[in-house]
Structure 1
Amino acid sequence: MKLKILTVFFLTFFTLTAWSQDSVRFEPNRFNDFRLVPLPAIGSNPANGWLFGLAPSATWRMGDPSTTHLSNFVGNILYTTKNQWIFSSRSTIFLNEDRWILVGDWRYFITSQPTFGLGSSTPNEPTENPAQQGVLYGEQQMDFSWVRFYESILKRVGDSKFYLGVGYHLDVYSKIENFIDSELPTELRFSHDYYNETNGFNTERYSISGLSFNAVMENRDVAVSPYERNFGLISYRVNPEFLGSAQSSTTLTLDYRHYFPLNPKRKRHLIGLWGFGNFLVSGKLPYMALPSIGYDMFGRTGRGYAQGRFRGESMLYSEVEYRFPLQQSKDVFGGTVFVNAASFSSRGVNETLLSQINPGYGVGLRVMINKENRTTISADYGFGQSGNSGFYLNINESF
Structure 2
Amino acid sequence: MKTALFFGYLFLIPSLLLSQENTTGNYTPNKFHQFSFIPLPAVASNPANGWMFGFAPSASWYMGNPKSTKLSNLVGNLLYTTKKQWIFSSRHTVYLADNSAMLIGDWRYFLTSQPTFGLGSSTPNALAENPNRYGVYWGEQQMDFTLIRFYEAYLKRVGDSKFYLGVGYHLDIHTRISNFISETSDPLVVFAHEDYNLSKGFDPDRYTLSGVTLNAVMENRDMAVSPYERNFAWMQYKINPAFLGSDQSSSTLLLDYRHYFNLNPQRKRHLIGVWGMGNFLISGDLPYMNLPSIGWDMFGRSGRAYAQGRFRGANMVYGEAEWRFPLQKNKETFGATVFVNGATFSGGKPVPMLGSKSYSEKLFEKINPGYGLGLRVMINKEKRTTIAADYAIGQKGNSGFYLNINETF
Q: What runs of 5+ residues in structure 2 fail to find an aligned partner? A: 1-20, 350-355
Deviations 1:194-250 (A, max 9, x none): 000010000110010010001100000000000000000110010000001010000
1:379 equivalenced with 2:379 (yes/no): no
CA gap of 1:25–1:393, structure 2 versus 1, over 3 A, is farther
How far residue 187 of structure 1 moved from its aligned partner, in angstroms, is 2.3
How far residue 378 of structure 1 moved from its aligned partner, in angstroms, is 0.5
Q: What runs of 5+ residues in structure 1 fail to find an aligned partner? A: 1-23
1:113 equivalenced with 2:114 (yes/no): yes
CA gap of 1:129–1:165, structure 2 versus 1, over 3 A, is farther
1:125 equivalenced with 2:126 (yes/no): yes
- Which residue pairs with 1:26 in the alignment? 23
Instruction: Give me the whole-angstrom Cα distance separating, in 1, the residues matched to 2:277 and 2:102.
Output: 21
Instruction: Give me the whole-angstrom Cα distance separating, in 2, the residues matched to 1:335 and 1:353.
Output: 32
1:370 equivalenced with 2:380 (yes/no): yes
SS at match of 2:193: helix
Pick which of 165-174 and 60-69 moved more: 60-69
- Which residue pairs with 1:329 in the alignment? 330
Deviations 1:252-305 (A, max 9, x none): 000000000100000000000000000000000000000000000000000000
How far residue 185 of structure 1 moved from its aligned partner, in angstroms, is 3.1
Instruction: Give me the whole-angstrom Cα distance separating, in 2, the residues matched to 1:66 and 1:271.
Output: 26
Instruction: Give me the whole-angstrom Cα distance separating, in 2, the residues matched to 1:274 and 1:228.
Output: 13
CA gap of 1:121–1:129, structure 2 versus 1, over 3 A, is farther
Amino acid at match of 1:385: Q
Amino acid at match of 1:327: Q
Alignment check: 8 A CA contact 1:293 1:301 kept: yes
How far residue 25 of structure 1 moved from its aligned partner, in angstroms, is 8.5
- Which residue pairs with 1:361 in the alignment? 371
- Which residue pairs with 2:39 in the alignment? 38
- Which residue pairs with 2:52 in the alignment? 51
Instruction: Give me the whole-angstrom Cα distance separating, in 2, the residues matched to 1:129 and 1:322.
Output: 41
Alignment: residue pair count:
375
Instruction: Give me the whole-angstrom Cα distance separating, in 2, the residues matched to 1:340 and 1:372.
Output: 29
Instruction: Give me the whole-angstrom Cα distance separating, in 1, the residues matched to 2:320 and 2:386.
Output: 20
Alignment check: 8 A CA contact 1:103 1:153 kept: yes
- Which residue pairs with 1:194 in the alignment? 195
RMSD: 1.2
Alignment of 1:70-219 (within 5 A): 70-127=71-128, 128-130=130-132, 133-182=134-183, 185-219=186-220
Alignment check: 8 A CA contact 1:210 1:240 kept: yes
Amino acid at match of 2:92: S
Deviations 1:66-112 (A, max 9, x none): 11100000000000000000000000000011010001100000000
So what's the TM-score if we normalise by structure 1? 0.92
Amino acid at match of 1:27: T
Deviations 1:356-383 (A, max 9, x none): 1000000001000000000000000011
Alignment of 1:302-313 (within 5 A): 302-313=303-314
- Which residue pairs with 1:390 in the alignment? 400
Instruction: Give me the whole-angstrom Cα distance separating, in 2, the residues matched to 1:171 and 1:312.
Output: 18
Alignment check: 8 A CA contact 2:37 2:59 kept: yes
Instruction: Give me the whole-angstrom Cα distance separating, in 2, the residues matched to 1:333 and 1:156.
Output: 35
SS at match of 1:178: strand
- Could you list the structure 1 runs, at least 4 aligned residues long, displaced by more than 6 angstroms after superposition: none
How far residue 181 of structure 1 moved from its aligned partner, in angstroms, is 1.2
Instruction: Give me the whole-angstrom Cα distance separating, in 2, the residues matched to 1:329 and 1:129.
Output: 58
Alignment of 1:198-347 (within 5 A): 198-346=199-347, 347=349
Pick which of 74-83 and 28-37 moved more: 28-37
Instruction: Give me the whole-angstrom Cα distance separating, in 2, the residues matched to 1:287 and 1:116.
Output: 12
Amino acid at match of 2:23: F
Instruction: Give me the whole-angstrom Cα distance separating, in 2, the residues matched to 1:364 and 1:115.
Output: 27
How far residue 65 of structure 1 moved from its aligned partner, in angstroms, is 1.2
SS at match of 1:137: coil
Alignment check: 8 A CA contact 1:25 1:35 kept: no
How far residue 129 of structure 1 moved from its aligned partner, in angstroms, is 4.7
So what's the TM-score if we normalise by structure 2? 0.90
Instruction: Give me the whole-angstrom Cα distance separating, in 2, the residues matched to 1:79 and 1:116.
Output: 24
Amino acid at match of 2:186: P
SS at match of 1:136: coil
Amino acid at match of 1:397: E
Instruction: Give me the whole-angstrom Cα distance separating, in 2, the residues matched to 1:81 and 1:398.
Output: 24
CA gap of 1:146–1:184, structure 2 versus 1, over 3 A, is closer
Instruction: Give me the whole-angstrom Cα distance separating, in 2, the residues matched to 1:210 and 1:98.
Output: 27
How far residue 184 of structure 1 moved from its aligned partner, in angstroms, is 5.8
CA gap of 1:301–1:135, structure 2 versus 1, over 3 A, is same
Deviations 1:102-133 (A, max 9, x none): 01100000000000000000001112453x61
How far residue 183 of structure 1 moved from its aligned partner, in angstroms, is 5.5
Pick which of 183-192 and 54-63 moved more: 183-192
Instruction: Give me the whole-angstrom Cα distance separating, in 1, the residues matched to 2:295 and 2:173.
Output: 18
